[in-house]
Chains A and B, each alone.
Chain A
């Protein structure tokens, strides 16, 4: 578990050092998996540290992609300040959002096979819609 977390962190560091975008996702997934397994082995439902972990992973992802921008073209001072403020605002939003999600999920943590199947289909459908929309807008603009 610790090894998984360390590997994730190392991947993230490698991604930042070499601007390898694929490694950012892999690193974040590694860290998230490590935290998740840790929470799972400790038992209990949604752990108390979920909000903290969600904010941490989100801020880490934002900072990682921001650093990629900086590596190619550095921001001028005003833009830097605005982006930092924007990130702080989004992080606060994430706290609120995760708290809401946890509250909603807490009402019915397990729904059985049928509900989970519906959930999977919904997730795949959501991602499909996102991709189709992005592609359609791209084609239209091109």
Chain B
């Protein structure tokens, strides 16, 4: 955690040299002794200051209280200073990356350390944005007593912080149309071992006694047994469109989409579903469906590294390896519907029979109507084109729900479920 020390002269040293030189020369040239007297203090400060100047020996130890936090949490950076020498003026500056906000403590700060003095400084930061910010370098600048020379050293903190998106409260999830073979919490349409009553049938040898429905049997005069819906899990693929995002200041559609993906990952995994991730953008990456805590961390780690990478390469869903999109999987797409490649890939998925639900992270709050009549017309046409796309998906059997910034995700998912119920009723 050490860097090279750079020593340099302060503007004061240069200024005092010039003042001394000018004073003494003017005194000699004009024969005015008082000018020499005025220059003398500067000369004395220079001479004594440079003669006794030495680099203060201060040891710095930096520690972060934790390296994995949720969005909105606070972290404390402890800076331990141990002065082996007196430091007349010590300046400290921590480079704060985007996504962290100083809550308490001073940054930068200037302080004085006496001989052998130890100080513990605490800087408290709030993690305002998900991501993997690397707490920047710590710049330590020590000056001599006269303020003529400074020594600057940069310490690489090298602490990679993981700020996970804070999960939202969800009342319900989008249920998949089809379940898989493994045991889970979802009521399957197939009959098997489970808790949800499905039907009655006649007793056949091999049926368990405890499944006999005695009331029905008494009424019919022969043995009848209860049948139950099997409890199975589902495969859920979160499709994150990272080709483009609409952004204003430090907020954007990708931020919302990543937060939603993290929330959905957590909730689906709690339901014992297998969750996978397809990050479809300039840089393509994917995670095959899996279950458990390890899968949750894998997905969230992958989400933290999500960023918009500009690419003109045309990409189709074929580029994904087999197994990434298992049959009967529910594909939950989080997209601003801005890039034709993502739009085409989603239509392709639907055409291949995947159960597709599109959550459109609306870019409208981030868009401004261009000035003038033509601008207004273009904006309206753009919105109409988006409506047309939505209709195209609906016609293909994939519900599209618009998610506006600030609206709770749970209400969006409820909207999806409602539209799917209506679609089923129509069928």
Contact = CB atoms under 8 A, between A and B. Distances in A.
Contacts of A51: 37
Given A36-B34, A45-B33, A134-B9, A101 B109 contact: no
B110 A58 contact: no
Nearest to A122: B24
Given A98-B40, A102-B37, A28 B110 contact: no
Given A36-B26, A54-B41, A102 B33 contact: yes
Interface stretch (B10-18, B167-175, B211-219, B229-237): B10-18
Nearest to B113: A79
A102 B34 contact: yes
B109 A105 contact: no
Nearest to B93: A73
20 contacts: A40-B30, A51-B37, A58-B42, A72-B108, A75-B110, A79-B110, A90-B45, A101-B40, A102-B37, A105-B37, A109-B33, A120-B25, A123-B21, A123-B24, A123-B25, A123-B28, A126-B43, A138-B8, A141-B7, A141-B151
Contacts of B31: 109-110, 116
A133 interface: yes
B34 A76 contact: no
A78 B11 contact: no
B108 A39 contact: no
A142 B151 CA distance: 11
B289 interface: no
Contacts of A45: 33
Q: Which of B12, B21, B42, B53 counts the most A-chain CB atoms under 10 A from its CB?
A: B12
Nearest to B38: A54
Interface residues of A, number: 57
Given A21-B11, A29-B22, A65-B12, A142 B6 contact: yes
Prevailing SS type, chain A contact patch? helix
A84 interface: no
B22 A47 contact: no
A5 to B, nearest CB: 14
B147 A65 contact: yes
B18 A76 contact: no
A142 B7 contact: yes
A6 interface: no
A50 B34 contact: yes
A80 B13 CA distance: 21
B98 interface: no
Interface in A85-110: 90, 93-94, 97-98, 101-102, 105-106, 109-110
A130 B50 contact: yes
